[in-house]
Structure 1
Amino acid sequence: MKLSGLSLLLVINSATCWSLKADTLPPLEAWQGQSEQLIQSAASSWVTPAELTKLTDSPDYAATMAYVHKLVASSDMLELEQFGTSAQGRAIFVVKASKQLAKMAQNTKRPLLLVQAGIHSGEIDGKDAGLMLLRDIVHGDKQALLENVDLLFVPIFSVDGHERRSAYSRMNQRGPSIQGWRATAQNLNLNRDYSKADAPEMQAMLQLINKYDPDLYLDIHVTDGEDYQYDITYGFNHASAAISVNSASWLTKLYRPTIDQALQQAGHVPGPLVFGIDSQDFAKGLSGWTATPRYSNGYGDVRHLPTILVENHSLKPYKQRVLGTYTLLEATLGLLDQQGKALMLAKQADQHARPKRMVLSYTDNTNPVLINFKGISYQTASSEYSGATYVKWTGEPTLYANLPVYWQNVVERDIAIPTAYWLPPQQQEVIQRLRIHGIKFDVINKAQKISAQQLTVTDYHFAKEPFESRLTITDAEFSREQSLHSIEQGWVRVSTDQPLGRLAVALLEPTAPDSFFKWGFMLGLFQRTEYFEPYAIEPLIDRLLEQQPKLKQQFAEALAENSALKADPRARYDWFYQKLPYYDQQFLKYPILIEL
């Protein structure tokens, strides 16, 4: 039978899709672990939707929430709260789990764990692990996990991304069979949005954090990149490069040893959160990352909320990753039962600290730490398609002995912490974001004069293309002038003498890597809106030179030094225009004053 053009195309497309479903990823080690005993069979009354697929797939939003509603209704230890709405109108829920539910928002004596799944919804391991654990707490033998600890569990954070489901979402990842999308419906990456808080989902999450003030925050991801033996890696800003040094010390000395041991006993291989320096030559070493406040772990560090970024390994099967996440969550609750009070004290110490200086950014240490890294061997191959070489992982375990790790813990930029920042009332977007972050400020009710620094941009560069729906400033230099300023009613004063004072610095200090300025909240300062005509400025230049004769010599020197000025008549006019009182005095002025 002869096929029409359309029919032939459909057959070709069908065959192509079928072939793409085959596993083309690197070879895989066989795995068995004690944690496999956690899986319930289809005969169980409370088997989760993912378990029905033997942990090869993950349910959609409707099926997930149907199970959640059923589970919550079955236990007086669980309560469901909608804390936000996505851009497409989907409800975002948190499951509250406690033996003292009524006191969760006010209870300062019980450690509170916040677990977040699906910030990147193709990386949904945490959702299915969390549902299994909640089930075992309320209908199994693990109620003791909530004896002295409370839990907040967000099964799906990026709910719109979760519903952009496809078998072809993440080509670098083994399962689930159908995966959500990395970004939200507004094409925002929520794990780049903590500081700027543009997405409605992120604004809701920050308000949830403000409401419940958790003591530990777990953000569950799946990583890409190199192959290695570890099936679960996790990290946090290390004490050597942390703003919340007491919390970082607790995570280093108590959390990691305890969790690693629990994972190993369950048959998993935990590892540090590190990244290869050279994708073509893994043996060159690793980079140890210090996150900035756009990321969950960097944001948690700067607001004194101990935060762990969990990265399951994308090349490991979905079942293995989910069970590793379950084990990590269970062990975390167990540790908080034993050592949660110590973490709460460490967190309080960080909140009460008032250092004189603050590091804004770090760079790599050139003196590496040597570790034995459980890697996978690889070969370098040439591509006939790209013309370049690429790495082919063999699936064979190999130990990289004494592999160098270059931790990002050398101070690159730091500042003396100001006493306060002063914002004019027209900075409504910035003021509103401060409110969402939970930063306290005072609204001035009468005019006054203050001595403060005014910053002027002297050099700057914009990014070549938008990033996360914003035109960002990649770098900028400033001059700083201390002087008296008139403050009118309605101005806002943000004191740094508060628990979130370091977060205020990270957002309002324009040289900070994730400041509102760098994210492009104040692009208006780069725009001049009043100009001149030659017939008006010519006589004004004559009068200016009469009053300031030295300007004529300065102008001649400027012409001699600047060929662009010499060649551009308008630029020459502009040289004089900047000396006149008609010039826009707000042009390139950072609109926030800094009180030292």
Structure 2
Amino acid sequence: QNRGDVAYARSRATASWLQQRFTPAVDAALRRKGHQPAIYPSLIDEDAPRSGLRYSPEGPRYSTGYGDFAGIPTVLGENHRLKSYRQRVLGDYVLLEEALRLVGRDAHAIDAAKRADRAARPQELMVAWERLPQPIDHIPFKGVTYTRALSPVSGRPELRWEGRDETWTMPVIGYRQTQAVQYPVAWWIPPGNDDVLALLDAHGIDYDRLQQPARRAVQQIRITKTGSDHVPHTHDVEETFPAGSVRVPADQPMRMLAAALLEPRSSDSLLASGRFRHAGSPDSGLYGNELVEFSERVLRSDAALRSAFEQKLASDAAFRADGDARLQWIYARSPYATISGWRYPVRREVRQ
């Protein structure tokens, strides 16, 4: 599985080496020994094998996505479970043997690709994406025949593999960006987060520790709950950081990985994985009638907010039908919200 395809790659030079050098060499070696290499079949629907192949970006939680964020050529090899044990073992042997030969020959090219990717300074990080409505391609795919038969255990038709080779024309389903965050100048982490610093150390992310207090213009991130979603809001503040605070510059080789870990909107952030639990709960503190009466007062006194609310109602049917979302929308934009809610402890230093 080569998930470093240039179409979605974040480390473009490394992905180009994988596509132009690694894939042709390893595929040819595998075929010479009777194996059938192919992209890992991430199916759109596991219960419908011919539904299509998912072809998307990745976060850093798994090895192939991590390699893309860190500028490390990374390949995940998987063997088809319907092949014999002997064939799977020998397939791994051929892959490793050819990979070692190629890396030995291309060591300088790999080093140059890694240096190029780590010197790049992208301005934004994609943090969310969605499936495209139409296939971006159709490709021949070597599948295996299957049927469906009623299972006496589940009481429903279940997939049954028959084991005969069959070539399918498979749609390839791509993805598009739906949300991105701009890189700050740096991230600030308060003292007392040694577990977070240990992770930064493990991943080679550079940072500096303050020896004396320092005052900086930063963005404070407050997280409110809107319906079932936790929504980050930024506020520009002047803040004094005590000695022991840590500044993580964005201008560094591990820029993308640092952002993936420290930006709260990132799906693989430290916040998403359960760090910073001491930050509190993203709760307004207003419930039931209190929140209703508060929202009504805010709309009566703020003509601009009232106008924006009416436009939102007119343009968003789902929002119009969701009473809780309506109340939280007003609360999140009220003056009270700027002094309440869950404050994410990591600050963003931005250019003024």
After TM superposition, the score normalised by the length of structure 2 is 0.81
**What pairs up with 1:79-94 in 2 under 5 angstroms?**
none
User: SS of 1:282's equivalent?
Assistant: coil
Residue of structure 2 aligned with 1:421, choices 178, 187, 199: 187
- Pair 1:251 & 2:18 matched: yes
Match of 2:278 in 1: 524
Post-superposition Cα deviations, 1:407-458, rounded to whole Å, max 9, x if no partner, equal: 34x2122111111000110222212221222211000111221111111101
- Pair 1:387 & 2:192 matched: no
Match of 2:349 in 1: 595
Cα distance between partner residues in 1 of 2:249 and 2:142: 47
User: SS of 2:57's equivalent?
Assistant: coil
**What pairs up with 1:153-302 in 2 under 5 angstroms?**
234-302=1-69
Match of 1:445 in 2: 211
Structure 2 counterpart of 1:520, which letter? G
Inter-CA distance 333–449: structure 2 relative to 1 (3 Å threshold): same
**What pairs up with 1:89-100 in 2 under 5 angstroms?**
none
Residue of structure 2 aligned with 1:376, choices 104, 123, 144: 144
Match of 1:554 in 2: 297
Cα distance between partner residues in 1 of 2:137 and 2:299: 57
Inter-CA distance 286–339: structure 2 relative to 1 (3 Å threshold): same
Match of 1:328 in 2: 95
Unpaired segments ≥5 residues, structure 1:
1-233, 463-474, 532-550, 565-577
Structure 2 counterpart of 1:436, which letter? A
Q: Does the aligned pair in 2 maintain the 1:476–1:511 contact within 8 Å? A: no
Q: Does the aligned pair in 1 maintain the 2:232–2:264 contact within 8 Å? A: no
User: SS of 1:236's equivalent?
Assistant: coil
Match of 1:490 in 2: 244
User: SS of 1:593's equivalent?
Assistant: strand
After TM superposition, the score normalised by the length of structure 1 is 0.49
Post-superposition Cα deviations, 1:167-197, rounded to whole Å, max 9, x if no partner, equal: xxxxxxxxxxxxxxxxxxxxxxxxxxxxxxx
The number of residues matched between the two structures is: 311
User: SS of 1:349's equivalent?
Assistant: helix
Q: Which of 1 and 2 has higher RCO (CA within 8 Å, sep 6+)?
A: 2
Which protein is bigger by CA-based radius of gyration?
A: 1
Q: What is the Cα deviation at residue 584 of structure 1? A: 12
Structure 1 counterpart of 2:250, which letter? T
Unpaired segments ≥5 residues, structure 2:
286-293, 302-308, 310-321, 325-334
User: SS of 1:257's equivalent?
Assistant: helix
Q: What is the Cα deviation at residue 502 of structure 1? A: 1.1
Q: What is the Cα deviation at residue 553 of structure 1? A: 8.5
User: SS of 2:344's equivalent?
Assistant: coil
Alignment identity in percent? 33
Q: Does the aligned pair in 1 maintain the 2:53–2:173 contact within 8 Å? A: yes
Post-superposition Cα deviations, 1:300-324, rounded to whole Å, max 9, x if no partner, equal: 1111111111111122222111100
Inter-CA distance 331–483: structure 2 relative to 1 (3 Å threshold): same
Structure 2 counterpart of 1:380, which letter? R
Cα distance between partner residues in 2 of 1:394 and 1:341: 47
Cα distance between partner residues in 1 of 2:53 and 2:121: 34
Cα distance between partner residues in 2 of 1:322 and 1:289: 29
Aligned CA-pair RMSD: 2.9
Superposition misfits of 4+ residues, deviation over 3 angstroms: 555-558, 561-564, 583-587
Match of 1:313 in 2: 80
Inter-CA distance 428–406: structure 2 relative to 1 (3 Å threshold): same
